Amino acid sequence: MSDQEYTPPKVWEPKESGGKFASINRPVAGPTHDKTLSVGKHPFQLYSLATPNGVKASIMLEELLALGHEGAEYDAWLINIGEGDQFGSGFVELNPNSKIPALADHTSEPPTRVFESGSILLYLAEKFGELLPSEHVARTETMNWLFWQMGSAPFLGGGFGHFYAYAPVKLEYPIDRYTMEAKRQLDVLDRHLADNAYMAGSEYTIADIAIWSWYGQLVLGRLYDAAEFLQVESYEHVVRWAKEIDARPAVQRGRMVNRTFGEPDTQLHERHDASDFDTKTQDKIGQS
């Protein structure tokens, strides 16, 4: 692949592009193979991987359980996107867009499918009446920031993250372009959090879960090995907020669910019971 100037053809045709995710990129939707999704015993069935989008759903479910909502119990099944699990027929039926996370609510008949991480957060918040203010102004502010994250994160992940960390060739123009935008977004957050404890004001909400999963983990040095490059320590209010949320026990548990990377004691490939955090992390399975 050349780093010289590219002249687009009159009609684009797909070709092998290289890079970390080249083997799963394709220009069409739909399943590539038949595979039925597993279903456990709990009301909610989560199919995911512990990416920044994936952990939003598992953190939300763990927060609801911590608040005493036994009805939020869930089974979490691993969808390994590097191996193309998201293109199995069962997963595509649950989410025609073939992206994680996806959730099935078995308290309804037939089960209600919920896809897109922001939709999952909103669905669970409304179902259990938690982490979404009922007062109109505060609710609107929460939704403002939730939708900000959903619209902004593609520039951070598919833009900055892809060209900085995953593209087969490091090119100055796209890295500079998306670094500029990533830093602008961090500055938006830093200015807001200078005057607010949380994204919607004084109350922890689904907006914090959504934004922390991307930008909080970024400033904590967990995404793209880019903390020094982006000078994340200069966004002191974002760092303060990120550390505070990171210390929440439900957040720590949620980060572990469907995790297949990092230290073995942080990996819980599947979650079917609260006790799994103590007995079925990858380090313990390896010792048995």
Q: How far is CA 27 from the centre of its chain?
A: 23
Tokens of 39: 């279903």
What proportion of the chain, given as a percentage, has pLDDT over 90? 92
* Band of pLDDT at residue 278, cut at 50, 70 and 90: very high
Q: What does the block give as tokens for 191? A: 């200015």
**Buried-exposed string 215-234: b where 16+ CB fall within 10 A, e elsewhere:** bbbbbbebbbebeeebebee
State the pTM of this model. 0.96
List, in sequence order, every beta strand (DSSP E) within 8-83: 44-48, 74-78
The mean pLDDT value for 155-184 works out to 96
Q: How confident is the model at residue 3 (pLDDT cuts 50, 70, 90)?
A: low
Q: What is the model's pLDDT at position 25?
A: 85
How do residues 198-244 score in pLDDT, each as one tens digit?
999 999 999 999 999 999 999 999 999 999 999 999 999 999 999 99
What pLDDT does residue 1 have? Answer: 45
Question: Mean pLDDT over residues 19-26, rounded?
Answer: 77
Residue 163: count of CB within 10 angstroms of its CB: 21
- What's the one-letter identity of residue 51? T
- For 136-253, give the CATH class: mainly alpha
All structural domains of the chain with their residue ranges = 136-253
Angle, CA 202 vertex, CA 196 and CA 207 arms, to 5°? 80
